[in-house]
Amino acid sequence: MQERRFALQTSPKRANRPSCPGCGHAFSQFEKSDVEQSIPARFSEQARQHSQRLAVKTHRDELTYDAVNEAADRIAQIILLLRGTVEAPIITLIEPGAVAVASMLAIWKVGRIWVSLDPSHPPARNAYIASDSQATLVLTDNKNSALAAELVGGRCPTVNIDEIETHFFGGGVHLETRPDALACIIYTSGSSGRPKGVVHSHRSLLHLTMRHTNALQICAHDRLALLASFSHIAGVVDILRALLNGAALFPFDFKARGIFELRDWLIQQEITIYHPTPSLFRRFAEVLNGEQPFPDLRVIHLGGDTILKRDVELYRTNFASNCILFCGFGSTEAGIVIHDFIDKETCFTSEIVSGGYAVPDMDVFLIGQGDEAQAKTPTGEIAVRSRYVALEYWRRPELTREKFTVDPIASEERTYWTGDKGCLGPDGRFRYIGREDFQVKIRGYRVDVSEIEIGALKLDGIKVAVVVTAEDDDFGSRLIMYYSSDKRPGPSSTALRQSLSEMLPDYMIPSQFVRLERLPLTPSGKLDRRALPQPNEGRPEVESEYVAPRTPVEEVVAGIWANVLGVDQVGIGDNFFRLGGHSLLATQVISRLRDELGVEVPLRSLFEGPTVTKLAAQILGDPAERANIEEVAQLLTTLERLSDEEVAMKLSARSSLKEGGPK
């Protein structure tokens, strides 16, 4: 079959393409020569130049560059004391914040490999990563110390950073680390049913930071929001592009604080660079109503999922003219390789905006075959050739050889085969089409559905399982699992969701489970995915008996849940998350409660009390507001039972009564 290669252009410097506005202060280019060092060497220079500037701020603490550097040195001394010169990975299992940042830097200061575990992920998944990484030490904090000890089971020591005395071990740590030394292992979803570790060097992470720094003109006066996990490439990018430029990093716990706090927090903390996933951005922009000026926000960085024309419209409606939309496309293995800037004047005819132009030093091209190679708009698999892509998959030599090809002439360059498909427009702009395999993007995370299917087959009663995606207008792709069971009765949706949640993070749990007697097959005996039936919107198969709402407030809450979750019936004992809810849908519930009942309910209330009964009790918790809330709920439920004509008549009568009243 004929194969052709089409190279992508780097970002054109033309008048009709917008560029990134700086922060109004002097911008210092991240030079190519600065890539040829270690991450702690670059950080130490920033700490020297900006010792008293704010480095990290959370709602619990705030540290200057000098304080972060000193904390990292203390932790580094502990590592050297316990592990000496053992060159092996070290794990952090720490709540996001200054301690986690200092621990990460400490690991790099002593030339070790950093592996971050997300405390919110299932213990079974974290235990697998701890074992697969062959870590020899775990750094943790008060909140996670018991979990850390349980994960490693005595195989290696754990250190509670919160218990290290501030005066313990003085002096800096100055070990030489080569640019090509291993820096971190970032675990992503894997087709084998287990996460796979992507290995980056100091050089590749520094070059990734350089690409972001120069594209966005990041300087020491910038204030960057951090919403992503430390264990995800997006989180690593946000940390490095702040701390390696003297800027301030602001971690935000979205799950605990919610979308309305995020809105106010961005303004109060004077955030200049905001990096949400497209699905979070949609939900966020929809609660703004164009009323918040966000005077300090100059860049909204969208990445991690498909960017739609609708996202551009939300940006135009809700943000100031001095704010620009930065669209990035990449992967854990290569970082950002394609980007584009969008301002208020940029026009798009296609509904899908994802795409742009290749970034410097990354040779991005499409490999087209057969008809797709001959098309006017060439289409093919995206490949990236550079010396700045990831080095390998940790302890997976066969997969490394499959996905990374070494250039026989330029041996330092490797070609990474992404598995993504794209097309090349006549203007040299790339547009993302989708995947060639079974990997999908869910809420900004790359998910291999094979890992979910393999996990499901381990469960009692599951004979066959297949996971597919469906598009959701607000939240992008969602997962649906079709399965057949060899037991009568088979496992319920609640049981499946609970069992999978013990193995997989929440973004990998299907939102719907559809049981079939047998899955459809093609004439050749293969699974026919196109013949899978559409899931119905009835009440999911859950273990709790349906109990109807008893009060107007419970009725309003149940109605909101049913609408948000796309089901026709919700009982007062049903668990929001076992019906298919997740954190972004939870924010929509909180927003609807605010609009309909006029109540401010913390997002954490839904996580702590995920049934209609418990949430209704939380809503009525303030005695001073109870009567008013119940009256509004009674009115809403009454109106819900009326036809449109009856509502119009009542409103007309109410208006006439007002007009005829006392003057």
CATH at 115: 3.40.50.980
- What residue ranges of the chain have pLDDT lower than 50? 1-2, 11, 13-15, 373, 658, 662-663
pLDDT of residue 245: 98
Q: Which amino acid is at 139?
A: L
Predicted confidence at residue 518, as pLDDT, reads 84
For the chain, what is the domain count?
A: 3
Question: What's the pLDDT score for residue 93?
Answer: 98
Same domain assignment for residues 83 and 113: yes
Which one-letter DSSP state was computed for residue 21? -
Residue 47 within any structural domain of the chain:
no
Does some domain include residue 7? no
Edge-to-edge strands of the sheet including 476-485?
A: 462-472, 476-485, 512-515
Shared domain for 67 and 172, answered yes or no, is yes
Instruction: Write down which residue in 161, 177, 193 finishes a domain.
Output: 177
Asked if residue 597 belongs to a domain, the reply is: yes
Same domain, 82 and 164: yes
504 and 576 both lie in a single domain: no
Q: Are 306 and 280 contacting, i.e. CB atoms less than 8 angstroms apart?
A: no
Do 456 and 561 have their domain in common?
Answer: no
- In eight-state DSSP terms, residue 527 is B
Bridge partners of residue 179, in order along the sequence: none
Q: Do residue 584 and residue 520 come from a single domain?
A: no
Q: What is the pLDDT of residue 552?
A: 92
- Encode burial over 54-67: b for 16+ CB neighbours within 10 A, e otherwise: bbbbbeeeebbbeb
The reported pTM is 0.83
Query: So what's the pLDDT on residue 519?
Result: 85
Residue 205 falls within a domain, yes or no? Answer: no
Cα–Cα dist 392/216, whole Å:
28
We report the CATH number of the domain holding residue 612 as 1.10.1200.10
- What residues make up the domain containing 164? 61-177
Residue where a domain terminates, one of 531, 561, 579: 531
The whole-number pLDDT of residue 10 equals: 54
My answer on whether 66 and 172 are in the same domain is yes
- Same-domain pairing of 171 and 100: yes
Could you tell me if residue 604 is inside a domain? yes
Domain identity same for 495 and 571: no
For position 451, which CATH number holds? 3.30.300.30
Distance CA 593, CA 586 (A): 11
- Residue written as tokens 């303030």? 622
CA–CA gap between residue 351 and residue 312 (Å, rounded): 10
**Final residue of a structural domain among 177, 207, 237:** 177
Give me the count of residues in the chain. 663
Residue 540 domain flag: no
Q: What is the 3-state secondary structure (H, E, C) of 328-395?
A: EEEECCCEEEEEEEECCCCCCCCCECCEEEECCCCEEEEEEECHHHHCCCCEEEEEEEECCCCCEECC
Q: Residues 272, 298: contact at Cβ < 8 Å?
A: yes
Residues 6+ apart with CB under 8 A from 464: 457, 483, 484, 518, 519
Number of H helices, E strands in the chain: 20, 27
The token pair at 96 is: 């996001």
What is the CA 107 to chain-centroid distance, rounded?
Answer: 24
Confidence at residue 373, expressed as pLDDT on a 0 to 100 scale: 47
Residues 173 and 76 in one domain: yes
User: In terms of domains, do 169 and 107 share one?
Assistant: yes
Claim to verify: residue 574 and residue 512 sit in the same structural domain: no
Q: Which two tokens stand for residue 212?
A: 């972001």
Q: Which amino acid is at 511?
A: S
In a domain, 31, yes or no: no
Residue 455 domain-assigned (yes or no): yes
